[in-house]
Structure 1
Amino acid sequence: MAKKVAIEPGLDDLSQLLKNQGYKVVKPGSGENVMAVVINGLDNNTMNMQGISTKAPVIDAAGYTPDQILSRIKELG
């Protein structure tokens, strides 16, 4: 079974890289059990309110290459 990662829209290079590595890419809030959620860094929440609740680690993609983010995801298991 493929490992699932939730990726915010706009991170197309990362989504394609993950798919090529055998991961299933879903949208955040899809209700699927994912191993990580990757956000684009533009959604920093200044009022500290969350629209999506998850127990999965959240990775902020801002300032990182897709390969660096892939490495972080691989470390999760």
Structure 2
Amino acid sequence: MALIGVEGTLTDVKDALKERGHQVVDLHSEEDVDQCDCCVISGQDKDVMGMSTISTDASVINADGYNAENVCQMVEKKLGI
């Protein structure tokens, strides 16, 4: 099962992903990103948790301008679900 990291302010996205059966964790630190297969950020702060220079193999989705359903669809497409 894929692990999806979601920025803390995106409560609606976290809830929607959980309802769809996904395993979701809050992104609080660099270590949280390391374990995720996909990360969802709000896009409000381009330097999320000071992580502007962190590279990750995980897909990163910017949720800015999208509703929770759109974000869920983007996550599932990135993960091939």
Q: Structure 2 length as normaliser, TM-score?
A: 0.76
Long gaps (5+) in structure 1: none
Q: What is aligned with 1:10?
A: 9
Rg comparison, structure with higher value: 1
Higher helix share: 2
* Aligned amino acid, residue 57 of structure 2: K
> Which digits, 9 at most, give the CA deviation of each residue in 1:28-49, with x for residues without a partner?
33141x221111111124xxx7
Task: Give the RMSD, CA atoms, in angstroms.
Answer: 1.7
TM-score by length of 1: 0.80
Moved over 3 A (4+): none
Matched residue count: 72
Structure 2 unaligned spans of 5+? none
Which whole-Å CA distance do the structure 2 matches of 1:9 and 1:53 have between them? 20
Letter in 2 for 1:62: D
Q: Per the alignment, in what secondary structure is the counterpart of residue 27 of structure 1?
A: strand
